[in-house]
Amino acid sequence: MDDLPYIVDAHHHLWDLDACRHTWLAERGVVRFFGDPAPIQKNYHVKDLRADFGSLPVRKTVHIQVGVEVDDSLNETAWLQQQSSEHGLPTAIIPFCDLTKDAVSEDVDAHASHAGVRGVRQIIGRSAEEDRKTGTSSLLGDPRFKRGLQVLSDKLLSFDLQLTPPLMQAAASLFSEVPDLKVALCHCGSLSAFDPDSISEWKQGLQALADLPNLICKISGFGMFDHGWTQDSIAPLIHRVIEIFGPERCAFGSNFPVDKLYASYEETIGAYLNICEVYSREERDAMFRTVAEDFYRL
């Protein structure tokens, strides 16, 4: 790390349970697809994130909206902008916006009126069980969703894409029809099954998405799907992602505090740094800093 100027965390969350209600943070005793959220069902502010940095030189961060269900996403954006103004982080904000709504253009403008907003995220897939309940995976075939994506493109905003491997081919087809939209794939596509067939499907899906020149891949979130991950277990997956996208289209994120359930911040980012020692300084600087800076206009 000594030869890199600083780190950009390209994917993290903050929340205040009084400022904005998120269903999964409010529900007690419900195990989610990533495990039992009880240890993190409390406020997580900028001071908590900075404390988790430890000795790592994280200077800029990208906040990604929290989950599928939120009572008032514009209120969340306003709270985040206040945090940024008062505490210096997050550097960029990616809020939730329902792109299927008739008033999507007005809703996007309302979020974008806050200086830190760079795009939006509307989750398409997290896990088969939860997606059946929310119906989010049907977005890929909804013409209103495609119209909303075009609105983002026209307004020079980006889209954060969270989905699962079975949805990748359909997503690649849809996003190819909005060719100027900048897209960031979250969590390397959320690989959650590690048998040969599932890994093969994941690799093929990544390749289809990598054919979209305006799409970058964010490497993060391993703890959600492999609670006992180790540096050795995730290294082959990370190397394959970098092989497919190239270092110039990869960015690392912590996914904190969700991944805090399974490892510390320094353990998580430290593992990523160790795995990437085989790449050149310029390549590592791209993946840990400049790709995120350029994509999110930090």
**pLDDT, tens digit, 9 for 90 and up, residues 123-175:** 998 777 766 666 678 899 999 999 999 999 999 999 999 999 999 999 999 99
Q: How confident is the model at residue 24 (pLDDT cuts 50, 70, 90)?
A: confident
pLDDT of amino acid 71: 65
Please tell me whether the overall predicted TM-score, pTM, comes out greater than 0.85 for this model: yes
- Which CATH number covers residue 263? 3.20.20.140
Number of domains, the chain: 1
Query: Dihedral angle at the C-alpha atoms of 142, 66, 180, 176, nearest 10 degrees?
Result: -40
Q: Is residue 1 part of a domain?
A: no
Q: How many CB atoms lie within 10 A of CB 129?
A: 9
Q: Is residue 2 part of a domain?
A: no
Distance from C-alpha of 123 to C-alpha of 145, rounded to nearest angstrom: 12
Distance in Å from the first CA to the final CA of the chain: 21
Q: What are the tokens at 123?
A: 């989750």
Q: How confident is the model at residue 23 (pLDDT cuts 50, 70, 90)?
A: confident
pLDDT, tens digit (0-9, with 9 covering 90-100), for 240-271: 999 999 999 999 999 999 999 999 999 999 99
**Stretch 178-188: mean pLDDT, rounded?**
98
Task: List the one residue out of 259, 246, 237, 261 whose CA is nearest residue 215.
Answer: 246
Domain holding 222, by residue range, is 7-296
Q: What single DSSP character describes residue 163?
A: -
Look-up of token digits 């030869």: 3
Q: How confident is the model at residue 3 (pLDDT cuts 50, 70, 90)?
A: confident
pLDDT, tens digit (0-9, with 9 covering 90-100), for 197-206: 999 999 999 9
